[in-house]
Amino acid sequence: MLKQFGLTMAAGAILSTGFPTEDVGAQSKGKSLLDPNRIINVAHRGASGYAPEHTMPAYEMGHKKFKADYIEIDLQMTKDGQLIAMHDETVDRTTDGTGAVKDKTLEEIKKLDAGSWFNEVNPSLARKEYAGLKVPTLEEIFSTYGKHANYYIETKSPEVYPGMEEKLLNTLKAYDLSSDRVKPGQVLIQSFSEASLQKVKDMDPNVPLIQLMEANEVKALTDDRLTAIRQYAVGVGPSFKALTRENVSAIRAHDLLLHPYTVNEKADMVRMIDYGVTGVFTNYADRFNDVVKGLYKK
C-alpha cells in the first residue's frame, strides 16, 4: 500500500503520535472548524445512541447536552419536494409506516411515529416522550438552531431525488446559512456521490465538501484519486474499519480533513486519534468527548 501511494513516512511525520498536545478547551475554541489540528466531534444522526435518530430530541442531546461540534443530518426528499431528516430511502426502519420517502408527501410523513421503534429496540433507554415523535424537516431544524449550531449535511441517494442539491442550497440561503453568511466550516455538505458534490460546487464553489467513502473504496485509494478529491473537497469521510496508520498518513498528506464513521467504542476512538484523524462521526458524542479530554491530560 505504501508503494501504491508513493509516500515516505516523512510525509506523515506530523502524525507521528496523532495525539493532541494542547488544552482541550483552548483547542475547541481557538481553532477554525476546518483547522486540520482540531479534532471534530460529529453527533451521528444526533445523539443516536441515546435517542431516536434524526429526531429533535437526538439533535438536542447531541448539540446542547454533549456539545458536539456538529449536528449531522441525512437528507431525503418527499414527493412534494420537501427535505426531511432521515437516513433510509424508506420509512420502514425508523417509523411505524412503510414505503419510499419519494412516494410520500410531507403531510403523509408527518403522520408517522418516528420514536416508538427506538423504545422497542432499546428498552433500557426508552422514554415515553419518544413515542409519537415526528420526522423533522430541514427547515424545522434550521428554525430551531439557526446560526447557533454547526451542520454536517448529507445528500442521501441524490440520484433518486433530482434537484436535491439546489433545494438544499436554497434552504440554506433562506435561513441565512449560505457560505457567504457563515463562519468557515459551519455548514459542511457530504455525500457518497461525487456527482452530487460537484453539483453543489458548481452552484456554490465556497461550500466545504466532504467525500464519503465505503470501506472498499478506502482500500483501493490511490495517490491520483486523493489528488482528484482534493480538487473539489476539503476532506473525506471513510469507514473507520478500513483505515490504517499508513492510509491515514496518505490522506492527511493530501491536505484533506479526515472524519471517519461510525466510531462508537472508546478503543477505536483512541486508535483513530492515534492514527491522525481530524475527527469522527459517533453515536456517542459524550464518549468521544471523554476520550479526547483524557488524551489531552496525558
CA–CA separation, 45 and 149 (whole Å): 14
Place of cell 420514536: 115
Q: From start to end of the chain, where are the E strands?
A: 40-43, 70-77, 83-85, 151-155, 187-191, 209-213, 235-238, 257-258, 279-282
Nearest partner of 82 among 99, 102, 100, 96, judged by Cα: 102
The one catalytic residue in 44, 54, 63, 254 is 44
Q: Is the pLDDT of residue 4 over 60?
A: no
Q: Name the helix (H) or strand (E) containing 167.
A: helix 164-174
User: 33: pLDDT confidence band, cut at 50, 70 and 90?
Assistant: very high
**Average pLDDT of span 30-40:** 92
**pLDDT score at 297:** 73
Q: What is the pTM of this model?
A: 0.91
**Average pLDDT of span 141-165:** 98
**pLDDT score at 124:** 98
> Domain extents for the chain?
40-296
Q: Is the pLDDT of residue 1 over 50?
A: no
Which residues are within 8 A (CB) of 59 and not within 5 positions of it... i.e. 6 or more apart? 43, 46, 47, 71, 136, 141, 144, 145
**Average pLDDT of span 132-152:** 98
The pairs formed by 134-137 with CB atoms below 8 angstroms and a separation of 24 or more are: 134/55, 134/110, 135/54, 135/55, 135/84, 135/85, 135/86, 135/91, 135/95, 135/109, 135/110, 136/54, 136/55, 136/56, 136/59, 136/84, 136/85, 137/82, 137/83, 137/84, 137/85, 137/106
Q: Which residue has the higher pLDDT, 95 or 17?
A: 95
User: 298: pLDDT confidence band, cut at 50, 70 and 90?
Assistant: low
User: 296: pLDDT confidence band, cut at 50, 70 and 90?
Assistant: confident
**pLDDT score at 31:** 87
Q: Is the pLDDT of residue 153 over 70?
A: yes
CA–CA separation, 56 and 46 (whole Å): 8
Q: 224-265: per-residue pLDDT in tens? A: 999 999 999 999 999 999 999 999 999 999 999 999 999 999
The one catalytic residue in 63, 87, 254, 259 is 87
In CATH, the architecture of 40-296 is Alpha-Beta Barrel (3.20)
Q: 208-219: per-residue pLDDT in tens? A: 999 999 999 999
**pLDDT score at 2:** 37
Question: Is 87 marked active-site?
Answer: yes
**pLDDT score at 3:** 38
> What is the pLDDT of the chain when averaged over all its residues?
92
Beta bridge partner(s), residue 191: 211
Report the percent of the chain where pLDDT is more than 70.
Answer: 90
**pLDDT score at 295:** 85
Q: Is the pLDDT of residue 22 over 50?
A: no
Question: Is 254 marked active-site?
Answer: no
**Average pLDDT of span 81-91:** 98
Q: Is the pLDDT of residue 11 over 60?
A: no
